[in-house]
Structure 1
Amino acid sequence: MAAGRRRGWRLWVPDQHGAWAMLLVPFLAGTLLAPRPGPAHLLLLAAWLLGYGALFHAQQWLRLRARGLRAAGRHARPALVLGAGCALAGVPLAASRPWLLAAGAAAAPFVAVNACYAWRGRERALANGLAAVVPACGMAMVAAGLGGLGAGDSWRPAVACLLYFAGTVLYVKTMIRERGSRAYLRGSVAHHAVALAAAAALSPWLAAPFAAYLARAAALPGRGLRPAVVGAVEVGCSVVLLGVLVAVG
């Protein structure tokens, strides 16, 4: 019975483990930097995570449906239930703060890109991963705005998150799916070098963590690290980024 419950739980929770840091770090950065964090942030977090779950299952349904596979059906119920939960949490927020609708509209084109890649069965494409990063990092500005921090002060942590997580998409590919690809390795190192310069321009305090990110992007590919180790390193890097953003914010 317990094993059956665990299996059922896993069918509902997205298995994209690397996405959770990308979902949480920008949100937490914006919330912790805001002068007035409050209960509304709990509603926003619920809507954000439930919405991600609903979109994940909707995209899986699209991917499998495009191939005529009956397995698509098992994603329909989670997509609908999680989507309803997202609406239940998000509608009261949007009713009292209509600017959240504009933020949602800004994210819509990126969601559409992800849906197109899902339909084509190319969810692992680089462009698809980068498209997912943009609205996730934009959540830093949304959470900050909900707590009274203006866009003039919240865009820097959002950009820092974007620089880091876009680099993570490239770096993880060099460690797993594109392991051994010189082109991906050069692209990843080049991105991290540019990100270091850009992050240092945002704040000198960001230079140290981004220098470490560049070092790991250059030194770790080719060392045969297991995916679990790669994931653990990225969790640590994400926590460091959050800590620095909050400390210097």
Structure 2
Amino acid sequence: MPPKKASWIPDQHGAWAMLTVPFLVGTFLSPEPGRQHALLLAAWLLGYAAVFHAQQWLRLRRVAARRPEVARRHVRPALVLGAATALAGIPLAVLQPWLLLAGAAAAPCVAVNTWFAWLGWERALVNGLVAVVPACGMLLVAARLGGGGLPWAPAAACLLYFAGTVPYVKTMIRERNSFTYYRGSVAYHAAATALAALLSPWLAIPFAGYLARAAVLPGRGLRAPVIGAVELVCSAALSVSLLLIY
């Protein structure tokens, strides 16, 4: 039976903010946001979905070898979404050949994530942190595409925030009983707040809020929708802060 349409959309809900926030911030920080940004965003999101299904196919071929149909349901989405990515991305690569270099720079991170997927270690802390790097790097790509420079400070702020979401979310769900994870998450957020203040004193305000949520919310038994809603607010606060400051 072919997969339902809904199954084509990756169920990694936390990834969508990480994929879109840096991109949109870079777009609106650029002097000339335009149609090419819309095309690049389409290629970016479609590419993520295609890679997700390809990685799931690899993972399930290994861990569910006795049920090949489980892996096969990811083949069609991977191929169709990959083709859609090419349709959106090739015209951009012709118009802006430097985007190929940006893609090459992201390739090692994608390779690492694919390796972890094949091993079945997708939830590993290192895997999550590696995935943050190209996502935040899209801020630089989007800004450059709009005729701007390379705004390293906003990209670094995004990296500090989204890297912190990886251990924080674990303290809320999979590692909610681990004091080691909790202590590490709080320590990271304290350090991130100090580093963000070096980028801009104004950034200390939202990052102090991120530190507070990392210290206070774990252990309170919050349901997944509430955790997700909090992260949406935090992501929105980061976006607004960066656009106002820079």
* TM-score bracket for the superposition, by shorter chain length: over 0.9
Q: Aligned partner of 1:29: which letter?
A: V
Q: Aligned partner of 1:82: which letter?
A: L
Confirm or deny that 1:13 pairs with 2:9. Answer: yes
In the TM superposition, what whole-angstrom CA distance separates every residue of 1:116-157 from its partner, at most 9, and x where no partner exists? 111011100101111110000000000000001111xx1111
Distance in 2 of aligned mates of 1:188 and 1:9:
37
Q: Secondary structure at 1:18's aligned position in 2? A: helix
Match of residue 95 from structure 2: 96
Q: What is the correspondence of 1:111-130 to structure 2 with a 5 Å cutoff?
A: 111-130=110-129
Q: Secondary structure at 1:47's aligned position in 2? A: helix
Residue 166 of structure 1 is aligned with which of 160, 163, 166? 163
Match of residue 199 from structure 1: 196
Match of residue 105 from structure 1: 104
Q: What is the correspondence of 1:1-249 to structure 2 with a 5 Å cutoff?
A: 8-67=4-63, 68=65, 69-70=67-68, 71-151=70-150, 154-249=151-246
Question: RMSD of the TM alignment (CA)?
Answer: 1.3
In the TM superposition, what whole-angstrom CA distance separates every residue of 1:72-122 from its partner, at most 9, and x where no partner exists? 101011001101111111111111111111110110010011101110111
Q: Which runs of 5+ in 2 are unaligned?
A: none
Q: Scaled by the length of structure 1, what TM-score is found?
A: 0.95
Q: Secondary structure at 2:86's aligned position in 1? A: helix
Q: Aligned partner of 2:211: which letter?
A: L
Q: Aligned partner of 1:125: which letter?
A: A
User: How far is the alpha carbon of 1:234 from its aligned partner?
Assistant: 0.3
How many residues matched?
243
Q: Aligned partner of 1:109: which letter?
A: P
Match of residue 4 from structure 1: none
In the TM superposition, what whole-angstrom CA distance separates every residue of 1:33-62 from its partner, at most 9, and x where no partner exists? 001111000110000000000011001001
Q: Percent identity?
A: 69
Distance in 2 of aligned mates of 1:165 and 1:149:
23
Q: Aligned partner of 1:83: which letter?
A: G
Distance in 2 of aligned mates of 1:155 and 1:95:
26
Q: Secondary structure at 1:111's aligned position in 2? A: helix
User: How far is the alpha carbon of 1:9 from its aligned partner?
Assistant: 2.1
User: Following TM superposition, where does structure 1 have runs of at least 4 consecutive aligned residues deviating by more than 3 angstroms?
Assistant: none
Distance in 2 of aligned mates of 1:34 and 1:208:
24
Q: Secondary structure at 1:66's aligned position in 2? A: helix
Distance in 1 of aligned mates of 2:21 and 2:137:
11
In the TM superposition, what whole-angstrom CA distance separates every residue of 1:148-177 from its partner, at most 9, and x where no partner exists? 1111xx111111111000000110000000
Q: Secondary structure at 2:74's aligned position in 1? A: helix
Q: Scaled by the length of structure 2, what TM-score is found?
A: 0.96
Distance in 2 of aligned mates of 1:195 and 1:79:
36
